[in-house]
Every structure is written in C-alpha cells, then in structure tokens.
Amino acid sequence: MDKIEFSKTERAALADAIRRYFTDELDQDIGGLQAELFLDFIGEAIGPVFYNRGLLDAEAAMMKKMDDLSDAVRMLERPLPVKR
C-alpha cells in the first residue's frame, strides 16, 4: 500500500484537529510540528486498518449492487413456450 498523501489544506486541518484534541481532552498543548508528526505516526500505525476496513466496506457495497443487477437480469427472462 502506498503512503496516503494529503494536500496541504487537508494536512493543516488534520493537524489542527489533533492539536484541539490534545488541548481539550488531554489538557496538553502541542505545536503544529508535533501534531503533524503524530498524524504521520497514526497514519503508519493504524492507517492500514482503516484502509482495509474501507476496502471491505467498498467490496460489500459492490457485491450488493452485483446481486441487485443479477436479480434485474433474471427478471428479464422469458418463460419457455408451453407445448400443446
């Protein structure tokens, strides 16, 4: 799996959310660099778990659509003629 790259805007928003969490929940102030380093750590440590879950969810959604499509195709079947 390639490393997930965020835009500068996304990265700044994520780092800001991390800083707010540390301040609000842990009563600890951290700087922007510390927040970005923590973001990198989280991405490497648990990112694959979230990524894999996303793949499983996408696969489940795709399989449901395939089942729906299969049902729609079966509805198009025509009955066989009855011999007299």
Dump pLDDT digits (tens) for 24-33: 999 999 999 9
Please indicate, yes or no, whether residues 40 and 22 belong to a single structural domain of this protein: yes
Number of domains in the chain: 2
- The full DSSP string for the chain is -PPP---HHHHHHHHHHHHHHHHHHH-----HHHHHHHHHHHHHHTHHHHHHHHHHHHHHHHHHHHHHHHHHHHHT--PPPPP-
Please indicate, yes or no, whether residues 24 and 54 belong to a single structural domain of this protein: no
Residue 1 has pLDDT above 80, yes or no: no
Report pTM. Answer: 0.71
* pLDDT tens-digit map of 38-72: 999 999 999 999 999 999 999 999 999 999 999 99
**Which domain does 51 fall in, by range?**
47-76
